[in-house]
Homo-oligomer: A and B are copies of this chain.
Amino acid sequence: MSQRFFVESPIGEAASTRLVDSEAQHLAKVMRAKLGDEVTLFDGSGQEFTGRISAIGKSAVDLEIVQRRPIDRELRNPLTLAVSLPKGDRQKVLVEKLVELGVTRLIPLDTQRSVAEGTPAALARLLRQVIEASKQCGRNRLMEIAEPLTLSRLIETTAAAELRVLAHPAGGALSALSPSAAATVAIGPEGGFTDDEVAAAQAAGWEIVAFGPRTLRIETAALALAALLAKQ
């Protein structure tokens, strides 16, 4: 996969578009692009575009759209990960890997032992990481960064028709998967879900699962379950 560039505003049926800020600078300065060069663009709508450079400015590059290709690299069934976010670099690893594995939506999960906050600035940073990972792995739709939810709100709002899975050391192995189901996975904070939280999920019909007898870090548990569920 060659270099891909992300366009913030939807391209739709427009004849031209513009790259700005870091994307424009990367193309103009790092890649030393010239007028007439063609590059691959995506805008998160599910299409890929070929853009031909028509103007190079100081902080913007204009491109003529010369081709549109619907290229779907999404999972067959929507997969949501609701994760009590780890801190710092581990958050970046989490987002990058979930994007690569094809996860549809990440919900920052607020639990009794959670520490990281889902502030607007934090959510904006997560979205930036989603874009970077999408450029690299070839996804033409962005993994959604949803508004933070408490676990009880997640339990209330997740449809019972979904495969609903909560990770907990005392859980069982993941059951056989229905190939036609959407799935939501809840991953707790470093200290784990409290007994009350696990009981509430179980009472609502969630499957309580463990991934072997080792203590997994937040992001490891998230990506291991994402890998198992993404293989549909």
Contact = CB atoms under 8 A, between A and B. Distances in A.
A138 to B, nearest CB: 5
Contacts of A73: 212-214
A216 to B, nearest CB: 5
A122 interface: no
A67 to B, nearest CB: 19
Contact of A215 (B137, B223, B227, B231): B137
A173 interface: yes
Interface of A: 1, 72-73, 75, 89, 93, 96-97, 100-102, 136-139, 173-174, 211-217, 220, 223-225, 227-228, 230-231
Contacts of A227: 211, 223-225, 227-228
A53 B96 CA distance: 43
Nearest to A93: B93
B214 A100 contact: yes
Contacts of A72: 213
A138 B214 contact: yes
